[in-house]
Amino acid sequence: MPRFSAHLGYLFTDRPLLARIDAAAACGFQAIEGRFPDVPAADFKHAVERNNLKVLGINTPQGGPDDFGLGALPGRERDWRAIFAQTLDYVTTVGGLAIHCLAGKVAPEHRRAAETTYVENLKWAADQAAARNVKLYLEPINPRDMPNYFLSELAHAADIIGQVGSDNVFIQYDFYHMQIVGGDLIERFKKYQPLIAHVQCSQVPVRHEPDGDGEINYPFVFAEIDRLGYPHWIGAEYKPRTATESGLAWGAAYGLHAPGG
């Protein structure tokens, strides 16, 4: 049976972050994930523990207002190490499993240097994370939504992981981005399954609930990756049409529901 995590950067956003944790548990989610939290780690941990939830991946901070991560930006290596160390401390404190390492936006003429930077930064980060039993995730993000994001192709993510050469670096496979960049969702999932430690879902083209109103047949997708033996979580990372609680019919078969439902 698929297990779902609530991405708190997208769901329950009509309330403060700690209240989103309570809301996720009330709707049947058993785990949470998201962006770097804007609350003290002790408060976040308390909210998680009182709801008996697991903490999955937390993103590294985006950096400045024009950034979307620093991992692959030449000349920003010192900044990368600082924000990664901050994230690792936070994840360790709250009992999280992984860190999604945002690569950042890179102009085409700087991509070769950026790859070298990203690999070296990830080698250093992987060693730091392994010492605390934390995984690293790399997520290809489609260029329509995030122009010039360094990592958009699944094969590129796999190649980066090979260059890093650490056994705690994995792919975060987002069906939304993968559908936009290439489709063929299940065959590509099977090809790279040994490297996939987390998946995420939302409907294409408008990133709403993973229901029947869009390009992806999610009941089939969820059943197929379950049949393939995928043992990890599925992150619900979508933009609800209205209130999150009103749009959970897609998850009823998997134990999700409006409070009291």
Long-range contacts of 208-215 (CB under 8 A, 24+ apart): 208/238, 208/239, 208/240, 208/241, 208/247, 209/238, 209/240, 209/241, 209/247, 209/248, 209/250, 210/175, 210/236, 210/238, 210/250, 211/247, 211/249, 211/250, 215/179
Strands 98-100 and 4-7: unpaired
237 is catalytic: yes
Task: Tell me which of 33, 115, 209, 237 is the catalytic residue.
Answer: 237
- For 101, residues 6+ apart whose C-beta sits below 8 A from its C-beta are 60, 69, 71, 84, 121, 122, 125, 136, 137, 138
Task: Tell me which of 139, 153, 215, 224 is the catalytic residue.
Answer: 139
Q: Which of 257, 194, 255, 258 is nearest to 222 (CA)?
A: 255
Q: Residue 27 carries which side chain, given as an amino acid letter?
A: C
Residues 156/41, Cβ–Cβ less than 8 Å? no
Strands 169-174 and 196-201: parallel
152, HSE (Cβ side, Cα atoms, 13 Å): 16
Judged by DSSP in three states, 126 sits in helix
Give the catalytic positions in this structure: 139, 237
